[in-house]
């Protein structure tokens, strides 16, 4: 039987100590560090003399297997806090936050998410099925998913006041959470999309909001595609009847504040029966006329809301596009 080892020292010492010493030294080299003690080495020499090399080889494999290094623990992509109270209403003024594991005060932007619900209902949990928390944190972005006041006890402009409050909270928590409060993206669905655009374009006096992602949000309440369609009834509940509140309807329309518009992603269903596609087309045209960057995604045959089937096809491109402005 012939054996070849890279360590010539083992071969030299094995000739001097005999085959028992040879196999003991071979096992000492083969097993993991700190496994072979002096007492164990004496027992190995005895086993080599009594049982032969095959047992020693098996013993080496057993020792190695029992002392395999454990893989490093996988770090979660984010740390989270749930139902953080930012106001006095313990249900409608709460938020969840998701902070990427690797983050810094200077570089980590924040995505603030606004649910839909026709300005009278809805909940931050509506976004859970989409997986936006994991998506944005995987790109090094923090997420704040907020509830805002929506029922009859909190009329217009309560939701806008809540956005302002949450943005102040983000500024106050910037050092603790290690996020940059001057790199904000507002993301909204339906009514939340309208609120995101209205606040970003017309109410962000500190210019902290650098981008918007909006899904099927109405852009011009005074257009006939709202006034003369079912959506107008929803707006009337929030803003009052159009006939006696036309100025309020106009002011609450994002298209009335395009001088302050920021880069915007438009996600829309091309078969939306509630917020008609013309609302998104008008926004796209207005952004283009002002040379403001716009990413337009139209989902063929899709109705109102977030298309969970087609979203995966554009989600990474969407996040990367927005990341350029944060």
209-262 per-position pLDDT tens digit:
999 999 999 999 999 999 999 999 999 999 999 999 999 999 999 999 999 999
Sign of the CA dihedral with 237 first, then 241, 268, and 325 last: negative
The pLDDT of residue 1: 31
**SS3 state of residue 125:** helix
> For residue 313, what are its two tokens?
């096809």
Is the previous residue joined to 157 through a cis bond, with omega within 30 degrees of 0? yes
CA-angle at 231, arms to 95 and 291, nearest 5° = 75
Question: Using one digit for the tens of pLDDT, what is the confidence trace for 125-174?
Answer: 999 999 998 899 999 999 999 999 998 889 999 999 999 999 999 999 99
Maximum pairwise Cα distance, the chain: 107
CA distances from 24 to 4, 21, 178, 263 (A): 16, 5, 55, 71
Residue 47 has pLDDT above 60, yes or no: no
Question: Using one digit for the tens of pLDDT, what is the confidence trace for 95-126?
Answer: 999 999 999 999 999 999 999 999 999 999 99
CA distances from 147 to 71, 123, 139, 237 (A): 40, 6, 24, 19
- Does an H or E element contain 250, and which? helix 246-251
E-assigned strand segments in 41-183: 78-85, 94-100, 110-114, 142-146
Confidence of residue 9 (pLDDT cuts 50, 70, 90): very low
The pLDDT of residue 43: 56
Cβ proximity of 25 and 8 under 8 Å: no
Pairwise CA distance, residues 148 & 78, whole Å:
24
For domain 78-323, give its CATH number from 3.40.630.10, 3.40.50.1820, 3.40.50.2300, 1.10.3720.10: 3.40.50.1820
The pLDDT of residue 48: 54
């Amino acid at each position: 039987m012939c054996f070849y080892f890279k360590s010539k020292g083992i071969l030299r010492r094995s000739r001097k100590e005999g085959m028992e010493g040879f196999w003991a030294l071979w096992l000492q080299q083969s097993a993991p560090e700190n496994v072979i003690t002096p007492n164990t080495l004496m027992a190995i020499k005895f086993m080599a003399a009594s049982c032969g090399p095959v047992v020693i080889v098996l013993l080496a494999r057993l020792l190695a297997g029992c002392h395999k290094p454990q893989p490093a623990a996988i770090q979660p992509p984010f740390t989270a806090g749930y139902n953080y109270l930012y106001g006095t209403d313990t249900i409608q003024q709460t938020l969840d936050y998701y902070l990427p594991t690797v983050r810094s005060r200077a570089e980590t932007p924040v995505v603030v998410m606004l649910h839909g619900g026709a300005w009278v209902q809805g909940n931050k949990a509506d976004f859970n099925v989409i997986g936006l928390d994991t998506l944005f944190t995987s790109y090094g972005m923090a997420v704040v998913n907020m509830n805002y006041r929506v029922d009859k006890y909190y009329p217009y402009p309560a939701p806008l006041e809540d956005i302002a409050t949450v943005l102040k909270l983000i500024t106050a928590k910037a050092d603790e959470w290690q996020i940059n409060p001057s790199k904000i993206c507002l993301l909204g669905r339906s009514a939340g999309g309208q609120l995101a655009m209205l606040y970003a374009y017309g109410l962000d006096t500190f210019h902290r909001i650098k981008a918007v992602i909006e899904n099927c949000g109405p852009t011009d309440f005074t257009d006939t595609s709202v006034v003369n369609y079912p959506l107008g009834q929803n707006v009337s509940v929030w803003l009052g009847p159009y006939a006696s509140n036309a100025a309020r309807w106009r002011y609450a329309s994002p298209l009335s504040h395009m001088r302050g518009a920021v880069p915007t992603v438009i996600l829309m269903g091309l078969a939306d029966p509630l917020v008609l596609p013309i609302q998104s087309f008008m926004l796209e045209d207005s952004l283009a006329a002002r040379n403001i960057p716009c990413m337009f995604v139209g989902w063929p045959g899709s109705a109102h809301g977030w298309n969970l089937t087609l979203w995966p096809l554009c989600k990474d491109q969407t996040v990367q596009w927005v990341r350029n402005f944060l």
